[in-house]
Amino acid sequence: MLVRTGLTGPFPRSEPLVAATRDLDRGRTTPEAVEALYASAEREVLALEERLGLDTLSAGYLRSPDLFRAIAETWEGFTVGSLTRWFETNTFYRQPILHAPPVRAAGAILARLPAPIRAAPARARVILPGPYTFAGMLENRSGETEPALVHRLGRLLGEEVRDLRGAGFSTFQFTDPLLVIRPPEGPRAEAVVAGYRAVASALNGGTSIAWTYGADATPAFPLLDRLPVSVVGVDLADTDPDRISEARGGPALGLGVIDSRTTLAEDPEEVARIARSLENRRRPASVWLGPGMPLDLLPYEPATRKVEVLAAARKLLGDGGSP
Amino acid sequence: MTARGLFPSQEIGSLAKPRWQLLGQRGEPLDERARGELSTADGHLGFAGPLAGVRDALLDGRSREVGAEGVRDLAALYFLRYLEDAGLDRVYDGEARRIEMYEYPIRQMHGFSFQGHVRSFDSKYYLKAAVTEEVRLERPYHVEEFDFVRTHARGEPKLPITGPYTLADWSYNEHYLARQPGWKGRAARRTAQREFVVDLARRAIRPTLAALIEHGCRVIQIDEPAAGTHPDEADLVVEGFNAATDGLDAEFTMHICFSNYRDLLPTLLEAKRCRQWAWEFANRDSPEHDGYEVLKALREYGDTREVGLGVLDVHRDAVETPERVAERIGRASKYLGDPSRIWVNPDCGLRTRSLEVARAKLGAMVEGARRARAAIENPRR
């Protein structure tokens, strides 16, 4: 079985970095001192990813305040709004407010990627918001309908992918939990497919991943299997692996095998058993293992312990070839 | 109509700590600003009477001599008088001794292990524990705090305590999840969470409530701010509430805020011993959106309990006018069909507002309640 592993969202900040960012808010340290800590913390996460043999690298996205901020603060048409709960978690994002059709700021996302993966883009996983979740979680004052906005965001994200491909990046994850939390139907579903088609047309041989979490993905599989992406990821903390669609020929399967809502470590044997069972039933081209929800729902130490399961499960499953 | 008259008022949570308290607790001498705040507050409220020695030591720069507990006593007394001076019927101590509502209760229990900080947003974090063994209460908590309030309060004291569902939701569940067989998916997680909530309720919250009642506590507000996080777990909120309060003789209220209450109904109505719903409404009330309309749902379900009506938005500095407060009370009365069931309160704790702003808001709330009362009692005026 071809197995791929990688982080699917921000890694938690270490306790010294937590203390430093708090101190910065209170005027007790300097931006330069915090910057130095960020840089060393990014190198530490990268070293952890490399030690575990993860296929895609992220350097932790430690500076990322939320999934949308890099875009909401740089693309025209947006302002950053009030704190809003991020689904069923005790974390919050600042809701983007879209006042007019958005205009992409070329290079803005690249500039905000962690420095270690900017320096080595070939194995990097670029994490961007999925067009459906982005459109659904912002406050839309632009006058555009939601389906039109989903499609437009897909086209803009496609342009972004084209630029990033030119800069050497090849793996792009679109975090799109709303696809399973509020599965789109009718025109919305068609807009989602069209949005991802726009992304696909810019991939030029790269890999696209639509990553979901937060609800049982089973009802959404008829749409997920239609998405023109390389991989569809589902969170096994919410989706019963035995109920995952057996449809063949669709995207490869991503499995969220780490539950970021508990510090209890997952059993690698159990992860391997589930992956083998799905391989037998669905025959995916590859299986991508990662955390379901972002690991920054955990403190640093438990996250560091739990992520080990990716390497252990991969070892049990066998490697399966080069990326 | 209650013996108190229509629309009695109550506090709901914590208040911002004055500078003199923060410096004094750390054993640091008060700076000019803190000394000024303490002198002015005492000049106005005359609160320091029984603790005049503590006040004098702080003003004399002898914070270290007083000790942190003495400073907390003085602060608790200050907040009692602050709330009484605002005209509230039910008061507490502004949670002067508490820093937050999670870590302290958890530290009074056996079975938890703190894991580190989790980011809430931007550079704001909270400390989070995992339950790694069966929950056991080390000792009932908030009891000394309540004793102090009972001794000094002129109004009726109402004690707030974090509820079992919220404590469970804000913790990692290791122990109870590990007991579930097989893959720890949604079904296993739910079973484990139910066991955790009920254990917390029975083994920690209930004995604490019993101890508080034994010390004379008659009105207890169970805070469940996490209730709206997972609407499909409303039954666990209820099960925790019932397990914590079953057989206990006190007036229990349930505070929930910033949630979609309709999502929790009608399940929430199964909380048997809950006498009052103390909910946030003002924050969602605007010319475009009627924040109180959800009260119609209580009427639709035939629920006749009291409502602690949030009439002050705790997230904005703008002070509500008494007219605005009275209008909100009038609207809520219409939706409930029974004004005698309404208490008025801020949406939540006013700790994010300055003490000056909070005091102005509370004054407007009390005056607004008076006007609403007058409008009903003397409809021709």
| Average pLDDT, integer, range B231-240 | 96
Residue-wise pLDDT tens digits, B28-46: 999 999 999 999 999 999 9
Say if A135 falls within a structural domain. Answer: yes
Q: What range defines the domain where residue A43 resides?
A: 3-317
CA pair distance A181, A231, nearest whole angstrom: 18
What residue of A is the nearest CA neighbor of B174?
A264
Residue-wise pLDDT tens digits, B262-316: 999 999 999 999 999 999 999 999 988 999 999 999 999 999 999 999 999 998 9
- The minimum CA-CA distance between A61 and chain B, rounded to whole Å, is 13
| Average pLDDT, integer, range A118-125 | 97
Q: What is the pLDDT of residue A322?
A: 40
The number of C-beta contacts closer than 8 angstroms across A and B is 101
| DSSP H/E element including B90 | strand B90-91
- The minimum CA-CA distance between B113 and chain A, rounded to whole Å, is 11
Q: What is the pLDDT of residue B307?
A: 98
Q: What range defines the domain where residue B365 resides?
A: 86-377
Contact A274 B183 (CB under 8 A): yes
Say if B364 falls within a structural domain. Answer: yes
- Contact list, B130 vs chain A (CB under 8 Å): 262-264, 302
Q: What is the pLDDT of residue B169?
A: 96
Say if A197 falls within a structural domain. Answer: yes
pLDDT at B27 over 90: yes
What residue of B is the nearest CA neighbor of A14?
B117
**Torsion angle, CA of B91/B96/B101/B106, rounded to 10 degrees?**
-120
Say if B361 falls within a structural domain. Answer: yes
Say if B330 falls within a structural domain. Answer: yes
Say if A266 falls within a structural domain. Answer: yes
Percent above pLDDT 70 for chain A: 98
Instruction: List B residues 114-133 in contact with A (Cβ-Cβ < 8 A).
Output: 115-123, 125-126, 128, 130
What band does A250 get if pLDDT is binned at 50, 70 and 90? confident
**Token output for B166:** 């919220």
Q: What is the pLDDT of residue B195?
A: 98
What band does A321 get if pLDDT is binned at 50, 70 and 90? very low
CA pair distance B218, B221, nearest whole angstrom: 10
Say if A268 falls within a structural domain. Answer: yes
Domain count for chain A, please give it.
Answer: 1
Domain count for chain B, please give it.
Answer: 1
Say if B278 falls within a structural domain. Answer: yes
CATH code assigned at B137: 3.20.20.210
Q: What is the pLDDT of residue B291?
A: 95
Say if B197 falls within a structural domain. Answer: yes
Residue-wise pLDDT tens digits, B305-363: 999 999 999 989 999 999 999 999 999 999 999 999 999 999 999 998 999 999 999 99
Contact B169 A90 (CB under 8 A): yes
User: Which among B123, B130, B177 is the nearest to A22, CB-wise?
Assistant: B123
Say if A322 falls within a structural domain. Answer: no
> What's the whole-number average pLDDT of chain A?
95
Residue A246, number of CB atoms within 10 A of its CB: 11
- The minimum CA-CA distance between A261 and chain B, rounded to whole Å, is 7
What residue of B is the nearest CA neighbor of A272?
B183
CATH code assigned at A77: 3.20.20.210
Say if A25 falls within a structural domain. Answer: yes
pLDDT at B379 over 80: no
CA pair distance A194, A227, nearest whole angstrom: 9
- Contact list, B177 vs chain A (CB under 8 Å): 262, 264
A89 vs B: CB within 8 A: yes
Residue-wise pLDDT tens digits, A149-161: 999 999 999 999 9
Residue-wise pLDDT tens digits, B61-118: 999 999 999 999 999 999 999 999 999 999 999 999 998 899 999 999 999 999 999 9
CA pair distance A307, A54, nearest whole angstrom: 10
- Contact list, B263 vs chain A (CB under 8 Å): none
Say if B274 falls within a structural domain. Answer: yes
Q: State the ipTM, two decimals.
A: 0.94
Classify A257 as helix, strand or coil: strand
User: Helix, strand, coil proportions of chain A in percent (round to 5)?
Assistant: 45, 20, 35
Say if A204 falls within a structural domain. Answer: yes
What residue of A is the nearest CA neighbor of B127?
A299
Closest CA to B130 of B100, B91, B94, B172: B172
Residue-wise pLDDT tens digits, A55-114: 999 999 999 999 999 999 999 999 998 888 899 898 999 999 999 999 999 999 999 999
